[in-house]
Amino acid sequence: MEWARKRAFVVFTHDLDFSRLLWLTNATSPSVIQLRIEDVRPISIGKIVLAALNEIEDELKTGALVTIDPRHNRLRLFPLKRKIT
Protein backbone atom coordinates (compact mmCIF):
# COMPACT_ATOMS: atom_id res chain seq x y z
CA MET A 1 0.00 0.00 0.00
CA GLU A 2 2.79 2.41 0.89
CA TRP A 3 4.56 1.69 -2.42
CA ALA A 4 1.38 2.50 -4.38
CA ARG A 5 0.68 5.58 -2.25
CA LYS A 6 4.16 7.06 -2.85
CA ARG A 7 3.81 6.59 -6.61
CA ALA A 8 0.15 7.70 -6.85
CA PHE A 9 -0.83 4.28 -8.22
CA VAL A 10 -4.17 2.52 -7.92
CA VAL A 11 -4.19 -0.93 -6.32
CA PHE A 12 -6.11 -3.49 -8.39
CA THR A 13 -6.88 -6.64 -6.43
CA HIS A 14 -9.06 -9.68 -5.92
CA ASP A 15 -8.12 -9.69 -2.22
CA LEU A 16 -10.69 -8.14 0.13
CA ASP A 17 -8.08 -7.41 2.83
CA PHE A 18 -7.11 -4.14 1.13
CA SER A 19 -10.46 -2.53 1.90
CA ARG A 20 -10.09 -3.53 5.55
CA LEU A 21 -6.62 -1.94 5.66
CA LEU A 22 -8.02 1.29 4.25
CA TRP A 23 -10.81 1.34 6.80
CA LEU A 24 -8.61 0.50 9.79
CA THR A 25 -6.00 3.12 8.93
CA ASN A 26 -8.45 5.83 7.83
CA ALA A 27 -6.34 6.13 4.68
CA THR A 28 -6.91 8.70 1.97
CA SER A 29 -4.77 6.87 -0.59
CA PRO A 30 -4.03 4.82 -2.60
CA SER A 31 -7.28 4.20 -4.40
CA VAL A 32 -8.22 0.54 -4.53
CA ILE A 33 -10.23 -1.40 -7.08
CA GLN A 34 -11.30 -4.77 -5.77
CA LEU A 35 -12.87 -7.48 -7.87
CA ARG A 36 -15.65 -9.58 -6.42
CA ILE A 37 -15.79 -11.88 -9.39
CA GLU A 38 -15.04 -15.61 -9.49
CA ASP A 39 -13.50 -15.73 -12.96
CA VAL A 40 -10.71 -13.14 -13.06
CA ARG A 41 -9.26 -14.08 -16.42
CA PRO A 42 -8.76 -10.98 -18.59
CA ILE A 43 -11.07 -12.35 -21.28
CA SER A 44 -13.85 -12.64 -18.69
CA ILE A 45 -13.46 -9.33 -16.84
CA GLY A 46 -11.93 -7.01 -19.43
CA LYS A 47 -15.09 -5.26 -20.61
CA ILE A 48 -16.51 -4.97 -17.08
CA VAL A 49 -13.31 -3.44 -15.70
CA LEU A 50 -12.84 -1.02 -18.60
CA ALA A 51 -16.43 0.19 -18.31
CA ALA A 52 -15.98 0.76 -14.56
CA LEU A 53 -12.68 2.61 -15.10
CA ASN A 54 -14.34 4.96 -17.59
CA GLU A 55 -17.04 5.79 -15.04
CA ILE A 56 -14.78 6.34 -12.01
CA GLU A 57 -11.61 7.88 -13.42
CA ASP A 58 -11.96 11.18 -11.54
CA GLU A 59 -12.82 9.52 -8.24
CA LEU A 60 -9.73 7.29 -8.46
CA LYS A 61 -7.57 10.40 -8.75
CA THR A 62 -8.96 11.87 -5.53
CA GLY A 63 -9.16 8.63 -3.52
CA ALA A 64 -11.75 5.88 -3.59
CA LEU A 65 -12.51 2.26 -2.90
CA VAL A 66 -14.26 0.67 -5.87
CA THR A 67 -15.82 -2.77 -5.80
CA ILE A 68 -16.52 -4.36 -9.16
CA ASP A 69 -19.21 -7.01 -8.93
CA PRO A 70 -21.10 -8.72 -11.78
CA ARG A 71 -24.40 -7.39 -10.41
CA HIS A 72 -23.32 -3.81 -9.66
CA ASN A 73 -20.29 -1.68 -8.84
CA ARG A 74 -19.87 0.23 -5.58
CA LEU A 75 -17.90 3.41 -5.02
CA ARG A 76 -16.84 4.76 -1.64
CA LEU A 77 -14.83 7.97 -1.44
CA PHE A 78 -11.99 8.49 1.03
CA PRO A 79 -11.76 8.72 3.89
CA LEU A 80 -14.00 5.72 4.47
CA LYS A 81 -16.69 6.50 7.02
CA ARG A 82 -17.50 4.04 9.76
CA LYS A 83 -21.16 3.22 10.02
CA ILE A 84 -22.78 3.92 13.35
CA THR A 85 -24.98 1.07 14.50
pLDDT in tens, 52-67: 999 999 999 999 999 9
What is the rounded CA–CA span in Å between residue 17 and residue 64? 15
pLDDT over threshold 80, residue 83 = no
User: pTM higher than 0.95 for the full model?
Assistant: no
User: Where does the pLDDT of residue 37 fall: very low under 50, low under 70, confident under 90, or very high at 90 and above?
Assistant: very high
Q: Is 79 exposed, middle or buried (0-12, 13-18, 19+ CB in 10 A)?
A: middle
Closest CA to 60 of 38, 68, 41, 83: 68
Task: Name the pairing type of β-strands 64-68 and 11-13.
Answer: unpaired
Is residue 84 scored above 60 in pLDDT? no
Please give the DSSP secondary-structure letter assigned to residue 84: P
